[in-house]
Amino acid sequence: MGRRRRSSCGAKHTELQNVSSSSVMDLGPFETDNSVSCRLASQIPDVCKTEDCCLGIDEAGRGPVLGPMVYGICFCPVSKKKELKDSKVADSKTLSEAERENLFQKLDEARSYVGWALQILSPNTISTSMLQRTKYNLNALSHDTAIGLVQYALDSGVQLKEVYVDTVGPADKYEAKLSQRFPGIEVTVRPKADSLFPIVSAASICAKVARDRVVKGWNFAEDMGEVDTDYGSGYPNDPKTKAWLLKHLDPVFGYPQFVRFSWSTAQTLMDSKAVTVHWDDDEEDGEKAAQRQHNKSMLSYFSASAGGNDQNPTHQTHRFLTERRLKSLCTL
């Protein structure tokens, strides 16, 4: 059984959304509401609850402006490392989509000792996290997601002894953070861990397969009429992606939730092509803010004519009204 044949049969599978393998990775829970974060997981193999296990963490879809970021963990007993290595799981980036689907199939066949879990962070989750008042950056979000998945494995009874992670940010800091969070577990954070440790490769395959499927069959929550699904790789530098972003820009709402608003690609386009929207936590320089109409300096609230449109400078509006932001009008 050569790899070639398998991959060719995998290629057929990728043509369809509902291939047989999708039964082992049911994206239904995410697709019913793709605006939130969602966890998908395999059955926990019994052997993982009794034997010491190793666990790999990797992510897919960190860079794209479109679609979710998927975090994956894969775990198996330490004693089965060799078998996993023999199954030739490799860094998902070096594989074609068909090969990945195929390898995922193989992981599923090994379900007696290999388990996995995924956290799909919807583009909307990423946008709202990064753009909220207290900014929650992508690294923090990544770290917390990884921690959540490891905790999930522990809570499910997996006897974790070793954890391997591809780094996000400085490796030593991340390693210290995880070690502290999970005492008693040997944490190894390495750049390129997905090509060094088969269990990380397996995790990367799970994550990548899920991301590919989600992106391909994205259910637009918005009523967009005819949506052009030819959005390319979703990476900001892909001309197809750029063209798609230009085409689907709404002057008021910007983009569907499929787009990560926090990406500068999306922001730059919205800044130049869409209606300007001001938020009260916008960082604006004094002059710029003053140029904008309706903007009041903080000082104006303390000065004598707090009434705003009052022509009479001596008249001071009662605080019942000013505290409630109520004022008289002279015209509509």
Residues that bind other proteins (CB under 8 A): 252, 278-280, 285-288, 294-296, 307-308, 310-312, 314-315, 317-321, 323-332
What SS3 state is found at 24? coil
CB of 284 to other proteins, least distance (A): 9
CB 118 within 8 A of CB 210: yes
Interatomic CA distance for residues 90 and 83, integer angstroms: 13
What SS3 state is found at 70? strand
CB of 101 to other proteins, least distance (A): 43
Residue with Cβ nearer other proteins (192 or 273)? 273
Residue with tokens 């300096």: 297
**Segment 236-244 long-range contacts (CB within 8 Å, at least 24 positions apart):** 236/63, 236/64, 236/65, 236/263, 236/264, 236/265, 241/64, 241/65, 241/66, 244/66
CB of 263 to other proteins, least distance (A): 23
Burial environment of residue 76 by CB neighbours within 10 A (0 to 12, 13 to 18, 19 or more): buried
Residue with Cβ nearer other proteins (230 or 285)? 285
186-190 vs 160-166, strand pairing mode: parallel
Residue with Cβ nearer other proteins (9 or 224)? 224
Residue with Cβ nearer other proteins (279 or 304)? 279
CB of 328 to other proteins, least distance (A): 5
Residue with Cβ nearer other proteins (16 or 252)? 252
CB of 114 to other proteins, least distance (A): 49
